[in-house]
Amino acid sequence: MPDIVTLTINPAVDIFVNVGRVEPTRKMRCSSPKRDPGGGGINVARVCSRLGTNVAAIYPMGGVIGRLLQRLLDREGIDSIVTPSHVETRENFTAYEEETGQQYRFVLPGSPLHRAEWEACLDELTALEKKPLYVVASGSVPPGVPDDFFAQVARRAKALGAKIVIDTSGPALAAALEEGVALVKPNVNELSELVGTPLNTDAARIAACRKLVDSGKAEMVALTLGDEGALLVTKDRVLRAQAMEIEMVSAVGAGDSFLGGLVAALAKGETLENAFRMAVAAGTAAVMSPGTELCRDDEVQRLMPKVQISEVAPATA
């Protein structure tokens, strides 16, 4: 039985190409496409697997693209728990402009799912014979799926006795937090939208995270800050990680790699500091990887000793 189960209600196949220059109207000759499994929870599953944890992925699958998605995950040794969908699994497209080094990302919304289709994913979670340590529900919500879908995932995960981890945004995030989760990983823009106020300083960010913890909405908040690093806030502690000085190649998958590193380390019983260190190293490794590539284990291990973490607030009684 896997230690970690991810649930992705809006999976995708991510396509990446190089192009000399992006221009309107004219035909742009591209490199041969690279295709990777995608969608928040699926990316988390891929990272957890690379970092040595046993993981399975629940997701709806439809059409030719859906079958390709499952084959790509099979190739990485990840167990798929699939439910049928009447619509084709979506694709995302990323183009790297060689002339400028800029990335252009085209993210499709996903086609509407019928009620029976998204409920089937919840039923697969409920039907797990043995409880995982963590259930990670991550990514966007496609049309036809209610805003409280991740809240329903949280209720079923807690009924299994598993810790629930949420990474989404907007109304889906707000609804899930009302249910209460073990870990939530917003970025600073998502948290700012949630609390309805700008979060331009660490003091404001920590206060917003503490409010979620103190209200019982989350036991732990991992707040990613882009090139400013990250914060990890619990009831008793606040840890601050500085951003590492690296050359950014691609921002695709950085947040998913961060979360995968964090959950993988926690599932292995690592200390909070070591789990946070692995998360930052994994997110950084993804940023250093081209296209839609995620972090690799060897690169994460190389970067971990270089991650600088400090305690920025005293423990509270």
Angle at 310 between CA 304 and CA 314, to 5 degrees: 145
List the one residue out of 11, 40, 9 whose CA is nearest residue 190. 40
pLDDT number for residue 288: 84
| 256 in active site | yes
Determine contact, residues 13/37, Cβ cutoff 8 Å: yes
Measured between alpha carbons, how far is 11 from 69 in angstroms, rounded to an integer?
8
Max intra-chain CA distance, the chain: 64
List the chain pLDDT tens, one digit each, 317 residues: 689 999 999 999 999 999 999 999 999 999 999 999 999 999 999 999 999 999 999 999 999 999 999 999 999 999 999 999 999 999 999 999 999 988 899 999 888 999 999 999 999 999 998 899 999 999 999 999 999 999 999 999 999 999 999 999 999 999 999 999 999 999 999 999 999 999 999 999 999 999 999 999 999 999 999 889 999 999 999 999 998 887 767 777 789 999 999 999 999 999 999 999 999 999 999 988 766 679 999 999 999 999 999 998 654 44
Measured between alpha carbons, how far is 11 from 107 in angstroms, rounded to an integer?
11
Alpha helix stretches (DSSP H) within the chain? 40-50, 63-75, 115-126, 149-160, 170-179, 188-195, 202-214, 254-267, 272-287, 297-303
Q: Which tokens sit at 185?
A: 């990983």
Q: Which tokens sit at 284?
A: 């950084």
Determine contact, residues 68/35, Cβ cutoff 8 Å: yes
Query: Which amino acid is residue 273, in one-letter code?
Result: E
Catalytic member of 3, 14, 167, 256: 256
- Residue 153 exposed, middle or buried by CB count within 10 Å (0-12, 13-18, 19+): buried
Q: Which fold has domain 4-22+30-313?
A: UDP-N-acetylmuramoyl-L-alanine:D-glutamate ligase (3.40.1190)
- In this structure, what DSSP letter does residue 39 have? S
pLDDT number for residue 314: 56
pTM: 0.94
- Go through 175-201 and write b for each residue having 16 or more CB atoms within 10 A of its CB, e for each that does not: bbbebbbbbbbbbbebbbebbeeebee
pLDDT number for residue 292: 67
Sequence-separated (6 or more) residues with CB below 8 Å from residue 301: 281
Sequence-separated (6 or more) residues with CB below 8 Å from residue 4: 45, 48, 53, 54, 55, 56, 132, 133, 134, 135, 136, 263, 264, 267
Determine the angle formed by the axes of helices 63-75 and 40-50, rounding to 10 degrees. 20
